[in-house]
A and B are shown apart, each in its own frame.
Chain A
């Protein structure tokens, strides 16, 4: 984070006259916003694939239009497919929880959702209700139990056995393709790396090793790379034409950024994005909501 912020500062100096910022959706964060504010640039241009939502620009966060100016141009992903971007399809794959996992999931889910419903958190606190749950959990024993239940079930969903089994199958099936695997959590990325002996890139990976891995991936030395959240944006891995997202809990932002990874156009190859989610869990609801939202956009 500190490194990235410095990087922005350096860029601000370079663009002292024309301030142009990529990945502009970071700007509402307090410190990034200040960086932009202090840039002595009279002309400003921002680029992003995921413009921040209204609620992400309030509550002590900066507003992008104040820092950069209004939106002047938008282009939808669909309009670029086949020309600048590769043709792609997304495929949602569902896995079942094992009976033991199911029992644990159902118990935790009940604890969590009953509390949220009982206290009517979403209705009373709007989009920031999860923050409210966290705040409550440091004084209210019931809230604390609900929050812990939520944490446990997210952990379970992130690393349920069905996802490992399906990943195993996909890696065997796409045996000639370069594949990027995305996980929700670091622990899962390291577990995948361990099981299949493939390199992992997380925020702990040193810059030198990250470069070695990406170079290896480009050259074909490594066919599969697993990563947790760090390759979501900013780095090109054009060789990848298959992406497997073992998550389901990520927001629309990451979903699109991840798509962007596999969509850099090379020849006329079709890219595939697999989203692996656990059946009859809240991952299904999230994926559904995301789809609906994209259709509305």
Chain B
């Protein structure tokens, strides 16, 4: 996470709009800098954190763009792994032992016969260690003494610049009071990450997609501001996984201290480093979709199968059924959820959601081996089909037709 003083100088205000000076990730000069820093980091693996810090300071030299250099270095440091130095005793115990002699001097005193050298030698001998090792261990629990063990990420110069740009935007969102997102497609991962980061959100349906409102970290309704702020800022790359989207955030610009607006949309140069999940969550779903295409797909059937395109808004949470079947002629829709081989906890939440959704047009396909007692699903308003190996498509389509007729009445 970039600190305020690394973000602020990269912000510009135009009226009440806030803009970020992003780096051009193809700029030769910045690529050079990024490459240098990556090489510097690689060269310091196995050395203490202080050595890496000192090398950075030397590299920065008299450059006036030190804010960017430091920002890039911070991105590298945050991803890198540092391991504590191994010590003969926990450092705190070493200190307690040694400091009970202090203050010591380089030569013997009336009140302190033992010199510093004597004290160090004596303890080193007792611990079967050397005075040098003891010296290095004295404050080994400080982060400054930690050893850079690996870079933690396989950096390329472009990748580092792109990630730096993203971190600047995250740094701005750290100061948001409210965010509104409009999405019009490819939002499967959005729901996943909204929930993964435990953000507070409300969803409204629109003709062509969804509007999601989020409380930002500095909203008066958020209590754990710092922790929530980190989560909130961390969420941003998920937004970029969507296909068509725009975002507007109200932020208190740290530059001027007043409220400002920060906008982003799908045309932004920012890149996500989150992985887009595959089109299917499981083998089971993929097989189901393929079989449907083969037997009922394209011109043959009356129904079109689509993936996770309908969000059931349950207020503080959402449910996204795996498939939707849309009738070609009437436009009628039946939602299908495959209940596979899940952990009991996940299953319990799933059933709660199904019940909360109160949808007559929801068809559950439940794996028999899942151990979901029939009673658990008894009062569910939709239909339930149990299957052994995989859902029998013919049976499924039969129930779908019955449901469609019943709902149409």
B62 touches A195 (CB 8 A): no
B62 touches A148 (CB 8 A): yes
Interface residues of A in 126-176 (CB under 8 A from B): 137-141, 144-145, 148, 168, 171-172, 175
B99 at the interface (CB under 8 A from A): yes
Interface-side segment among A81-89, A216-224, A231-239: A216-224
Inside 8 A of A195's CB, which chain B residues have their CB?
Answer: 116
Inside 8 A of B142's CB, which chain A residues have their CB?
Answer: 190, 204
Inside 8 A of A223's CB, which chain B residues have their CB?
Answer: 102-103
Interface residues of B in 302-333 (CB under 8 A from A): none
Interface-side segment among B25-33, B104-112, B242-250, B362-370: B104-112
Closest residue of chain A to B60 (Cβ to Cβ) is A148
Assuming the contacts A60-B257, A175-B111, A222-B99, asked whether A197 and B104 have C-beta atoms less than 8 A apart, the reply is yes
Alpha-carbon separation in the docked complex, A198 to B142 (Å): 16
Assuming the contacts A139-B64, A141-B62, A141-B64, asked whether A197 and B103 have C-beta atoms less than 8 A apart, the reply is yes
A22 at the interface (CB under 8 A from B): no
Q: What total of chain A residues lie within 8 Å of the partner, measured CB to CB? A: 30
Alpha-carbon separation in the docked complex, A141 to B110 (Å): 55
Shortest CB distance B228–A (Å): 13
A197 touches B101 (CB 8 A): yes
Alpha-carbon separation in the docked complex, A289 to B231 (Å): 47
Assuming the contacts A175-B109, A197-B98, A204-B142, asked whether A138 and B66 have C-beta atoms less than 8 A apart, the reply is yes
Alpha-carbon separation in the docked complex, A196 to B115 (Å): 10
A2 at the interface (CB under 8 A from B): yes
B193 at the interface (CB under 8 A from A): no
Alpha-carbon separation in the docked complex, A140 to B98 (Å): 48
B344 at the interface (CB under 8 A from A): no
Q: A-side interface residues toward B, CB under 8 Å? A: 2, 30, 60, 137-141, 144-145, 148, 168, 171-172, 175, 190, 193-199, 204, 209, 212, 221-224
Q: B-side interface residues toward A, CB under 8 Å? A: 9, 62-67, 92, 95-96, 98-105, 109-111, 116, 119, 135, 138-139, 142-143, 226, 257
A224 touches B102 (CB 8 A): yes
Say which residue of B62, B66, B109, B116 sits within 8 Å of A197 (CB atoms).
B116
Assuming the contacts A30-B257, A60-B257, A222-B99, asked whether A196 and B104 have C-beta atoms less than 8 A apart, the reply is yes
* Extra A-B contacts (4), CB below 8 Å, given A196-B104, A197-B98, A224-B102: A138-B66, A195-B116, A197-B116, A222-B100
Shortest CB distance A273–B (Å): 19
B103 touches A224 (CB 8 A): yes
Inside 8 A of B105's CB, which chain A residues have their CB?
Answer: 168, 171-172, 196
Inside 8 A of B116's CB, which chain A residues have their CB?
Answer: 195-197
